[in-house]
Amino acid sequence: MAKNLQQRLLDAATELFYSQGIKATGIDAIVKLAGTNKMTLYNYFSSKDELVLAFLRKRDEDFTHWFVEQLNNKAEHPKDKILAIFDVIEDWMSVPSFRGCAFINAAAEFPVEGNPVHQLSAEFYDKFSAFISGLAAACGIVGHDSLATQITLLVEGAIVSEQMKRHAGASRQAKRVAEILIATYQQASAIPAAANHHQTRTNE
């Protein structure tokens, strides 16, 4: 029962923090939606700040699980998976409840880099970029970290653009740019590989 109550509080906070914003959401609104009281909330979370961090950690876990599952359903080859990222986020952004990225929103509300909320939000995109880097490396791309950073920027930009102007095709446009980037990196990666092959044949 205690775990269920804690989960209800976290679910209520998740819904309100995402739909209304963290700073705009008071504890009163959270406990009302959860059907409990402040005393109970503070038995599980020592402060609103702790609740915010719990919300972001849960969001990270839930979204990552959903995202990877969707990506695997859409593509098998690493290159195709990178491009499918934009199809997955387009599906996500098309739902009526879309209010942008919880981590981008949180970082904007807590802009000081040393703030734990800001740090946790930045860590999400660090992990996201590392995931893309792994896919790019599996494609044999030499500058996989650099490509991953650029793809991540395209994703972030598409999300913010969609948040500002709904159904404007931001993810589709970003995907086209990603295709150009991947092709450029693959071409650049093929040059040293061909040169090494030629050097090996020369030395034989």
pLDDT of residue 198: 44
Q: Residue 193: what pLDDT?
A: 53
Q: What is the reported pLDDT for 190? A: 85
Report the pLDDT value the prediction gives residue 189, as an integer from 0 to 100.
86
Q: What angle do CA 193, 182, 101 make, to 5 degrees?
A: 140
Is a pLDDT exceeding 80 seen at residue 27?
yes
What average pLDDT does the chain have? 93
How far lies 127's CA from each of 64, 69, 185, in Å? 10, 16, 21
Instruction: Reply yes or no on whether the pLDDT at 200 is more than 60.
Output: no
CB burial of residue 199 (10 Å; 0-12, 13-18, 19+): exposed
Give the pLDDT confidence score for residue 1 in this predicted structure. Answer: 52
Average pLDDT score over residue span 25-36: 97
- Predicted TM-score of the model (pTM): 0.89
How much is the average pLDDT of 26-35? 97
Please give the residue that has the higher pLDDT: either 2 or 152.
152
For residue range 99-143, what is the model confidence (pLDDT) as tens digits?
999 999 999 999 999 999 999 999 999 999 999 999 999 999 999
Chain centroid to Cα 182, Å, comes to 20
Q: What percent of the chain has pLDDT over 70?
A: 92
pLDDT band at 196 (very low <50, low <70, confident <90, very high): low
What is the mean predicted confidence (pLDDT) over 12-17? 97
Write out pLDDT tens, residues 46-92.
Answer: 999 999 999 999 999 999 999 999 999 999 999 999 999 999 999 99
pLDDT of residue 152 exceeding 50, the answer is: yes
pLDDT at 201: 46
Distance from C-alpha of 20 to C-alpha of 26, rounded to nearest angstrom: 10
Q: Supply 18's token pair.
A: 């995402």
